[in-house]
Structures are given as C-alpha cells and as structure tokens.
Structure 1
C-alpha cells in the first residue's frame, strides 16, 4: 500500500470537553474544523494528547465517532486504541474500523512490567482484530516499555504493520527503526522538540502534541526540510522549542496551557480532566506571552 497519506504533519487531537467536563461533540467539531482549515495531513485521535487514559471506553468511542463524522474524507485519520486490557483495545479497534479510520495505533500495555512476548501478543491481537494497517506507538517515558529494533522486526512479520510513532527522545531510535523496516514502513517523529532532527534521521512525518497549537510553524518546518533549507528549518525549530519550554513551565498541565492558547486563537475546547491540573497563579500572563511568541514566529518564518 502507498504510505504517502501518512507523510507530513499529523497533529494529535485534543480532548474536547463541555463546561461540565463531559465529552463535547460540538467542541470536537470546532477543533476538527480549525485543523481542517490549517491543511494538516491528518489527525491522531485518542492518544496521550486526547487524555485517553482518563476516559472510559464509551467516551473514547464517542471521540472517535465525532472526529470521524467531521473529518472522514478530508484528511488521514489514525485512531489510537491502546488501553490497559487487550479486550478494551480490540473493542476500540473494531469501532475505529467501522468508522472508516485509515489506520490504528496503540501504546504497549501499561502498569504491569510485561515480557516482550506479552507485549508482542498484545499488539498482534489488536492487529489481527481488523483489516486496518497498524502503527506501533513507542513512548517509554510514560509506559515504561522501550520498543527495540528486535521486537519491531518480529512485529513486521505482519504486513499490516506499516510503521512506528516514535516518541522516545533519542533521534537514533528513528534511524534504527527505519533501518529495520526500510521503505515498507513509515517512522513518525514523536518529540516535537526534535522534529527537524527526527526528519533528518529518517522520519517521513510527525505526530505531535503541540502541533495543533501552532500548526503553521510545523507545516513550514516540514516544507523547509523538503526544500533542503536546513539552516532555516533549524532556526524555526529553535523558535518552536522556546514555545514548548514555556508551555512546560506553567503551574497547570501543558495541555491546559495548549487549550488556553487555542481559546486565544478562537477555538474553545474546554479544560483538562483530573488528575491533570488546569491553569492557576500567573499562568494567564504566561499564556499571553506564549500566544505572542507563536504569532511572532508565524510572522517571522511562515511564507
């Protein structure tokens, strides 16, 4: 199959809540419209940025449904279906397949420290549950499990495995996974702070948690890389990193900060779900500076 539909900038889709903290169909649609207007390649629905671990299975199915209703046929749709149990993950996978998603993805099982054999079985059970292609999600800093090239090679025994969303920090991991899979796989850069480095090391696209807050900047960075303008791309990455560091310095959760940035940009998708913390103290002043930094970077870099 052609992997071209998975190249480029794919924002992680945020959880959209109403004022009572419930999943909001209307606000999900607002975020979908905002991203569609920015001309991103696709969206990654129900992952870390979607606060999936704090939602029930029925809520997660609703999010997948609302996003597909707004965006199917307009862009590439990837459904993250990782859950603590294989049974729940398969239920989400089948739901996403019925909705017409382009691919599935999943973190490894969390909490218990499992051997490679159990993790491989978990992923293969999800892969076997639907006809959809599958993207492994490697994020060891939150799951405690580090995907290795050896395990990746075993998973590639299935033709439905088309790549890995690599959110480990070493850019070397991107190069190693690409060396194992070659042209039959796509490697997505996960850490937004190293988008340019990840692309240089072999990633053909990126899936990121801050993309939707400033899609113009990541889209421009991707174009600069395609044009071979590495010095300009590196300078833009530096500006992006200043913004990310500021988002990580808030009293509240980074995602609460991102949602406030989106509110300032005209998209209200609510707050975050506990135990994630909403903004407090002088966070409002910091958000104003972050929004100003995003606007300045757009003016300075985006053609």
Structure 2
C-alpha cells in the first residue's frame, strides 16, 4: 500500500445546486472540470464543505456518483461517508466502493455523546463494509468528540486505516498522531489557517474547505514547504489567513456562500448554500469584490 496518491492539495468538494436548490449534475461537472484544470491532487467529497449534514442519503449518493463519473482515474477520490446512523454510513461506503473511490472517511457519530467503545465500533463497522482504505476524520469543534492518540493506535491495528484528517486547531495534535502512526500513516491538515504549520509538524497533505477558491495559493505553499522554503510559505499562509478572515466576516452570507459567489463571478456557477446556511446578499458585494482582489493579488505575487 502506497500513500503517494494521498499527498498534496485535496480540496473539499462543494455542494453544487441548481437555481431551485437541488443537486445539479451539470454544475457538479463544472466544479470537477475547474478543479482538474487547476492541477490539484484529489478531492474530498461529501464532507462539511459538501453540506452533507443537510442532504438526504440519495442526494449524497448522487454527488458521489457525479464526481466519480467525471474524475475517476484523473485524481484521487476520497468519499466522506459519515452519517448520523451506522447503517446509512455503511450504505454510502458501499456505494463509494462500487464507484471506484480510492478511500473512505467519516466523522465520529454526532448528537449523542458516546464513549470510545461506541465510536470505535462505528468506525470499525464502516471500515469492514468495503475493501477501501479508511481515513478517520477528527473535527471536535463540530462533532463534540476528540480522537485520542490511544484510540487512533487501536484503530491502526486494522491495516485499512491509513491516517487522519485532523481538523482540530492545535498543530500539536498532528505531531501526536504522526508519532503514533509513523511513516505508515498520512496525516491530513484540516484547518486551512494552519496549513503550513501543519505540514511542518508532520502532515503529509491537506484537505481544506477554502482550497477550491484559491487553489493556486495552497499549491504554491505546499511546493514551498516541500522545498524547505518555510519563510515564503509562511508569507503565503499569512495572506491566506487574511482571505479566510474576510470570508468569515461577510455581512449576511455564510463563508461557503461567499466562496460560491466568488466562483460564480469567475464563471463557475455552482449555486448557493442550503438552508439553514445563509446565502450572500447585496450587502456582501463590496466585501466579495475586495476578497477577489486580495486573492488575485496574492496569486500574482507568489505564482505569477
């Protein structure tokens, strides 16, 4: 088993809706084409950026199908199959396996506070449902559950477990998980605001929700880290963080709504977000203009 195909910049794939708010096959293809042409290494489908928690099972299966139809064999495909019930997660896992995805991933069970034994059983049942590699998704700020190094070590006894998508904020967590797994695992940096720090602390790749709105900057930052040019990589990270802060400071719209509007202005219309997330309004127009300018200037500065 090689981890090579899981390295690099892997954008979290956005939900693509038509004007009525339904999953759009055409717009999903447009986003696939856009990301493929940007040269990213893969996509992470059906996670937070994909608004999975607001989609039903059939919609999630459709998204997995549409992405596979367009990108299978072209880049690495990771399917996030975490769902409120183990049964639904397994159904999604089997669907992704049949479509030819490279790996599965899942958040821990949500809503009820469960002990490690329940979380271990949940992940284990998903893992055993298919022959695919599995990536644990640790995001305690939204799930309320924190993966411990001890449970990670126990899960690694199953050779299908190849790593963690770590979205907890302390970069020390990346170092701890890497210490447990060593060279046999890959840790994905989750928080986009600490991509460079995460890579330096042991992450072999990144999966992020803002990558697709500025892939050039993350690709360049990753290239610089690989070359050992941490000074310039840190400068790019600083500009990335300014952009993320601005995206999180819109007057009305959610960050993902702002990202989708920016992509729309660049000719990639993937609709807006699904309620209860709020879409952008005219009150956000000037801020979005400023964000686009900041992104373009950064791309010119570092990649031009």
Asked whether 1:259 is paired with 2:266, we answer no
| Map of 1:248 onto structure 2 | 248
- Find the counterpart in structure 2 of residue 297 from structure 1: 298
| Per-residue deviation, residues 33-72 of structure 1 (Å, max 9, x unmatched) | 0000001000000000000000000000000000000000
Task: State the TM-score, normalizing by the size of structure 1.
Answer: 0.99
Q: Deviations over 1:204-243 (max 9, x none)?
A: 1000000000000000000011111111000000000000
Shift of 1:92: 0.0
Distance in 2 between residues matched to 1:220 and 1:194, nearest whole Å: 15
TM-score, normalized by length of structure 2? Answer: 0.99
| Gapped regions of structure 2 (runs ≥ 5) | none
1:223 maps onto 2:248 in alignment: no
Distance 1:12 1:233 in 2: 21
Instruction: Give runs of aligned pairs for residues 262-277 of structure 1, distance below 5 A.
Output: 262-277=263-278
The answer to whether structure 1 residue 16 and structure 2 residue 32 are counterparts is: no
Aligned partners of 1:186 and 1:203 also within 8 Å: yes
Q: Does 1:181 align with 2:181?
A: yes
Q: Structure 1 CA distance, aligned partners of 2:267 and 2:151?
A: 44
Q: Which runs of 5+ in 1 are unaligned?
A: none
Q: How far has the Cα of 1:281 moved from its partner? A: 5.0
Displacement, 1:257? 0.4
How far did residue 132 of structure 1 move? 0.1
The root-mean-square deviation of aligned C-alpha atoms, in Å, is: 0.6
The alpha-carbon deviation at position 280 of structure 1 amounts to: 2.5
Query: What whole-Å deviation, never above 9, does each CA across 1:158-201 have from its counterpart, x for those lacking one?
Result: 00000000000000000000000001100000000000000000
CA distance in 1, matches of 2:215, 2:184: 28
Aligned residues: 303
Task: Indicate the SS of the match to 1:48.
Answer: coil
Native 8 Å contact 1:9 1:218 kept in 2: yes
State the distance in 1 between where 2:184 and 2:86 align.
27
